[in-house]
Amino acid sequence: MATSTLNWSKYCFLSTCGISVLLLAALNFYDIRGLKVIRWMSNFTADIYFENKSHSLKFNHSMDKFMVDRNNITTTVQPTEEERTKTVVLVYTVFFGTVKWIGDRDNCGFENKFLFASNKCLSGDFELIYDKQRFEESDLVVFHARNMPSVDHLRTLLKSRPTSQRWVYALWESPNVTPDPAPLNGLFNSTWTFRSDSDFLSPYGSYEELSEEEKVEKMKNIPDYSQGKTELVAWMVGNCGAQPRMAFVQNLKKYIKVDIFGGCSGKRCSNPPTDCLKKFKFYLSFENALCEDYITEKYWGRLGEDINVVPIVMGGANYSKLAIPGSYINVMDFKTVKQFAEYLQYLDKNNTAYNEYFKWRLKYKVFRSNLDLSLCQICKWYVSRYPLQPKVYDDLAAHWVGKGRCNVKNSLITSMWEE
């Protein structure tokens, strides 16, 4: 960051600088972190944010006056794109025991829709580190929410936290299983999650349109995907807790056969699982929580040509917005479980209708089907928003849990039971 002397006279809009400081306190000015910095105490340092600049001011309080040490007034300004040399990203926590859990820049630029940022990400402008000794020189500090340090530890870090440094709240599980984020209010400036309102976005999967050459090649050989399919519906599940999906499957089994594999059934799939799944026509890609934008590998991981199944989805996300068009069947498009079961029976007898669910492969392709976290995902969003505006999550619980809208759609599922 560039440092220069602040022209204090610009901000001394009354007869003395001391009176100006009193007014600033009354206006509750915030620094770039969003934390209140004007306090009524003696001998303190305050960071004040003016016009996209953050100033570190040293004050001495004596009786009823504020004396400003003009020799210790500095301003920290975000450098321009040309001035910025390197952005340092510190990964502060582990990821469920894994220390180095963010990939470096090897696959930068692989997401074509974000090629606008790929040159910056490939040129060495970003550095990924895990060394906590370099905390004070880091521009971004990433904390995995499930491995979050104690609040006391975080507040200790605040004492040495540079004014321009941004803390990133990272998480890819549903808000239903998230540790209460309320104690973290006012500490974080950015989020890195699967949700589309994240500051840094990393969904579980993504797709893109085929090139014209790829489309021509695909049209040369269009297989009948019903061939070799001897079974109807499969489901692999290990989380057996009381959830709408468990009750839904129990009701579905009243009408059609459903083969369940995993810890909830005691029935094991072969290794690799593709060997037993590829004989099924459909796969239940049911999420364990119905939350906003929460589409995991349960859907993305079942789109491959190694098994050629049609995913049947149940989730809280808007699939028409986030999933590949024409690639899935949504149980919420049906009024009852019986009606849904009858539709699967219809597809089982009509190969032409069944093959319609694979036509998306003539237009689109999956280029990520699992959670592959990398520095590039941070870089592309960071570059597109630079220079960054001041931001802080004063109510992280309202943002993550409240806007997560988990369980809102549960009633849509339970209303499908028939007595």
pLDDT, one tens digit per residue, over 304-339 is 998 999 999 999 999 999 999 999 999 999 999 999
For the residues 272-301, what does the mean pLDDT come to?
Answer: 93
- Mean pLDDT score across all residues of the chain: 80
What percent of the chain is predicted at pLDDT more than 70? 75
CA 55/CA 13 separation, integer angstroms: 17
Q: Are 121 and 103 in contact (CB under 8 A)?
A: no
Query: What Å distances lie between residue 155 and 94, 132, 141, 163, 189, CA to CA?
Result: 19, 15, 14, 14, 15
Q: Which amino acid is at 163?
A: T
DSSP state of 324: P
Positive or negative, the CA dihedral 231, 236, 240, 246 is negative
Pairing of strands 53-62, 44-50: antiparallel
The model carries a pTM of 0.78
Positive or negative, the CA dihedral 375, 377, 379, 385 is negative
Q: Are 101 and 170 in contact (CB under 8 A)?
A: no
The pLDDT assigned to 175 comes to 95
Q: Is the pLDDT of residue 216 over 70?
A: yes
Instruction: Determine the angle formed by the axes of helices 337-349 and 244-252, rounding to 10 degrees.
Output: 60
